[in-house]
Amino acid sequence: MHEEEIIESLCNKFPFLNCRIYLQKEKRIITKPLLREEFEEVIRFAHDELGFYRASHVVGTDDGENLGLLYILSDHENILLALRESVPKTNPVIKSVSDMYLSIILHERELVDLFGVIVEGLPEGPHYPLPDGWPKGSYPMRKEWDPRYFNKDTMTYEGPQEEKQSE
Amino acid sequence: MSEKNNNNIVFPIGPQHPSLDEPSCFNITLEGEKVINAVIGVGYNHRGLEKTCESKTYIQDLYIIERVCGICSHAHSTAFCMAIEELTGVSIPKRAEYIRVIVAELERLHSHLLWLGVACHEIGFDTMFMYTWRNREKVLDILASVGGNRVNYGVNTIGGVRRDLDESINADILKTMDALEEEIKYYADVATTETTLISRLKGIGRLSHEDVIKFGAVGPVARAAGVEDDIRVTEPYGAYKEIPVHIVTDTNADVYGRTVVRIFEMQESINIIRFCINNLPDGPLTVRTPRRVPAGEVIARVEAPRGEDIHYIRSNGTDIPDRVRVRAPTEANWHGVKHMLEGGYLADVPITIAAIDPCYSCTDRATIVKSESGIRDMDWRAMRQYGIDWYKKQGIDLTVFKR
């Protein structure tokens, strides 16, 4: 299936994707931010019907008031489909896609540690990649996190404006 | 220390263990000698490089990115440069594209030779370990003559390459490739006919074609299961668009298959290097690129020695990136390791883990020795002599082997 056909299939199935999905270049299809429910429907369809068998990784981004989560999938033609989900920092809850993509577990754990995302349905296991004893509620890949305020000897973070993250 | 859980033993391997060349922790549950569960703990080497990149300029980041991995440093810097060049709309000169490929294939050669040595060491075949590492030195010497260093060559820059290849280096490379080709033929012969090696590796750490799809494995691990997955062919970049590249695959889907794939990939790399040198275009090495990168995002990927290496860059219109995300191939292959280990035997755990070629750190050959008289640098010759003298003090005279 070519890129145009993939976009057409997705737009036919999900009219809300019209004007929110685009071909960036050959083998690169990217969506604009999707709501949680929209994202879950689209990624399941891409996996079950369009042959996007591999989830290469997830890119977490700090978009100000929201957190962006770019899931990068690929198919047998090595076409990359990047689906973007956006959740508010005040309630950063997403649903794990590890039931479809086993390989995504490590990447979703990374979202938990580095961005403070709450991933529902993520199988139990060791956290990744931060060390044991890392201060709770301290998410280093968020823009407001400043390494100058982290004391690695006491493993404490006392930033200028302590952010109280939702658990 | 191992702990008993019902009738099973939970046996921790790592984070520091003689069979691991870098810190990681495998909690292996054993029923007798059989592995019935494996929990993989990684993250001991997390250095916060992506966060660091968000506070440095693109050109400074290039040097950080090159240090993500000591072995496939050129693959990472190539993917990073490609991403920035795409965002700035720059096309690099043809000569630079070819030089990038030559260095990339030299890197693949040294990485595969390193792996072959480590794998042979894991199964007690230390003669082969010594042979392959001896040959790897020849490749590292070329890389040192090209970039001035054995690892982290610093060849790439945004908009092209920093180092040129002159006639004498090209002649050296071709001469070394001829010698190396003979050695690789010998390794291929050993791998396909040596019954001890074959019986030790066949059927170990299986990851079938279906499992590769299920776990999203990449690189030689995927190709050893018959999956034709190689970015140089499926999404050719730079000079690979003009160079004939054949994907090496195997159907054994085990450690043996991964060994065979890597050995024959070395032959393929030699062919590519020869093609590039014989068709090396003339012209400049770089084009000017703006310091400020237009706002946008890009996903660039290259075929590193261990498989698909993906870089995501998001720019905000300044000279500092908004987000850099690196997905190294080992990160994709960890998921399959648990499956490879389960159902196997404890004695096969080291070679099974080694067979995905997890990213090892590598240091420069020059070493700094701290002594009471201060710190001093030691070159290769001095280090060799230091080793000989050290053993002599222990009552072992290595110089007798010369005689």
What is the DSSP annotation of B76-127?
HHHHHHHHHHHHHT----HHHHHHHHHHHHHHHHHHHHHHHHHHHHHTT-HH
pLDDT digits (tens, 9 = 90+) for B279-333: 999 999 999 999 999 999 999 999 999 999 999 999 999 999 999 999 999 888 8
Identify whether residues A124 and A150 lie together within a single domain: no
- Find the domain containing B293 and state its range: 49-204+279-330
The verdict on a CB contact (< 8 Å) between B41 and A102 is no
Question: How much is the pLDDT for B5?
Answer: 60
Does some domain include residue B225?
Answer: no
Question: How much is the pLDDT for B283?
Answer: 96
Identify whether residues A111 and A61 lie together within a single domain: yes
Identify whether residues B23 and B158 lie together within a single domain: no
Q: Which residues of A touch B (CB under 8 A)?
A: 24-28, 30, 53-57, 59-62, 70, 72, 77-78, 80, 82, 101-103, 105-107, 125-131, 140-141, 147
The predicted model scores a pTM of 0.90
The verdict on a CB contact (< 8 Å) between A128 and B325 is no
CA angle B194, B196, B197 (to 5 degrees): 70
Distance from CA of B230 to the nearest CA of A (A): 9
Peptide bond into B23 cis (omega under 30): no
Does some domain include residue B253?
Answer: no
For residue A73, what is the nearest residue in chain B, using CA coordinates? B216
Identify whether residues B289 and B176 lie together within a single domain: yes
Q: CATH number for the domain including A8? A: 3.30.460.80
pLDDT digits (tens, 9 = 90+) for B264-281: 999 999 999 999 999 999
Question: How much is the pLDDT for B403?
Answer: 45
Identify whether residues A123 and A146 lie together within a single domain: no
The verdict on a CB contact (< 8 Å) between B51 and A141 is yes
What percent of chain B lies above the pLDDT cut of 70?
Answer: 92
Does some domain include residue B191?
Answer: yes
Identify whether residues A152 and A107 lie together within a single domain: no
Question: How much is the pLDDT for A159?
Answer: 77
The verdict on a CB contact (< 8 Å) between A80 and B216 is no
Q: State the best of A23, A24, A56, A114 to mutate against chain B, taking most chain B CBs within 10 Å.
A: A56
Identify whether residues B170 and B300 lie together within a single domain: yes
Closest CA to B68 of B84, B52, B86: B52
Question: Total structural domains in chain B?
Answer: 2
Identify whether residues B28 and B66 lie together within a single domain: no
Identify whether residues B83 and B128 lie together within a single domain: yes
d(CA A40, CA B155): 43
Does some domain include residue B105?
Answer: yes
Q: What mean pLDDT is reported for chain A?
A: 91
pLDDT digits (tens, 9 = 90+) for B48-62: 889 999 999 999 999
Closest CA to A31 of A133, A42, A41: A42
pLDDT digits (tens, 9 = 90+) for A134-148: 999 999 999 999 988
Identify whether residues A141 and A92 lie together within a single domain: no
Identify whether residues B192 and B163 lie together within a single domain: yes
Identify whether residues B34 and B149 lie together within a single domain: no
pLDDT digits (tens, 9 = 90+) for A2-21: 999 999 999 999 999 999 99
Does some domain include residue B261?
Answer: no
Identify whether residues B38 and B64 lie together within a single domain: no
Question: Total structural domains in chain A?
Answer: 2
Residue B256: both structure tokens together = 């043996």
Evaluate if residue B362 carries a pLDDT over 50.
no
Residue B295: both structure tokens together = 């706002």
Identify whether residues A14 and A95 lie together within a single domain: yes
> Per-residue confidence at B4, pLDDT binned at 50, 70, 90?
low
Residue B322: both structure tokens together = 């908004």
d(CA B31, CA B37): 9
pLDDT digits (tens, 9 = 90+) for B209-260: 999 998 999 999 999 999 999 999 999 999 999 999 999 999 999 999 999 9
Contact B329, B218 (CB under 8 A): yes
Evaluate if residue B361 carries a pLDDT over 50.
no
Strand boundaries in chain A, DSSP class E = 21-25, 28-31, 54-63, 66-74, 80-88, 93-95, 118-120, 150-151, 156-157
Identify whether residues B62 and B161 lie together within a single domain: yes
Between residues A129 and B108, the one the model is more confident about: B108
Residues 6+ apart with CB under 8 A from B120: B126, B127, B128, B129, B132
Question: How much is the pLDDT for B88?
Answer: 97
Identify whether residues A76 and A156 lie together within a single domain: no
ipTM score: 0.93
Evaluate if residue B368 carries a pLDDT over 60.
no
Question: How much is the pLDDT for A167?
Answer: 44
Does some domain include residue B228?
Answer: no
Between residues B1 and A100, the one the model is more confident about: A100
Pairing state between β B34-41 and B156-157: unpaired
Angle in degrees, 0-180, between the axes of helices B255-278 and B94-122, rounded to the nearest 10: 150
Evaluate if residue B356 carries a pLDDT over 60.
yes
Identify whether residues B119 and B17 lie together within a single domain: no
Contact B82, B300 (CB under 8 A): yes
Chain B contact set for A77 (CB, 8 A):
234
d(CA A69, CA A89): 12
Question: How much is the pLDDT for B388?
Answer: 83
> Per-residue confidence at B81, pLDDT binned at 50, 70, 90?
very high
B196 has a chain A CB within 8 A of its CB? no
pLDDT digits (tens, 9 = 90+) for B82-137: 999 999 999 999 999 999 999 999 999 999 999 999 999 999 999 999 999 999 99
Peptide bond into B15 cis (omega under 30): yes
Identify whether residues B316 and B337 lie together within a single domain: no
Does some domain include residue B250?
Answer: no
- Find the domain containing A108 and state its range: 3-129
Q: State the best of B42, B54, B221, B325 to mutate against chain A, taking most chain A CBs within 10 Å.
A: B325
Identify whether residues B171 and B41 lie together within a single domain: no
Question: How much is the pLDDT for B360?
Answer: 42
Identify whether residues A94 and A162 lie together within a single domain: no
Q: CATH number for the domain including B144? A: 1.10.645.10
Identify whether residues A64 and A122 lie together within a single domain: yes
What percent of chain B lies above the pLDDT cut of 90?
Answer: 72
Burial B320-359 (b: 16+ CB within 10 A, else e): bbbbbbbbbbbbbbbbbbbbbbeebebebbbbbbbbbbbb
CA angle B226, B227, B232 (to 5 degrees): 120
Distance from CA of A128 to the nearest CA of B (A): 6
d(CA B78, CA A83): 25
Does some domain include residue B171?
Answer: yes
Identify whether residues A84 and A147 lie together within a single domain: no
d(CA B35, CA B134): 35
Identify whether residues A19 and A53 lie together within a single domain: yes
pLDDT mean over B50-75:
92
d(CA B400, CA B403): 5
Q: CATH number for the domain including B357? A: 3.30.390
Identify whether residues A124 and A44 lie together within a single domain: yes
Number of H helices, E strands in chain A: 3, 9
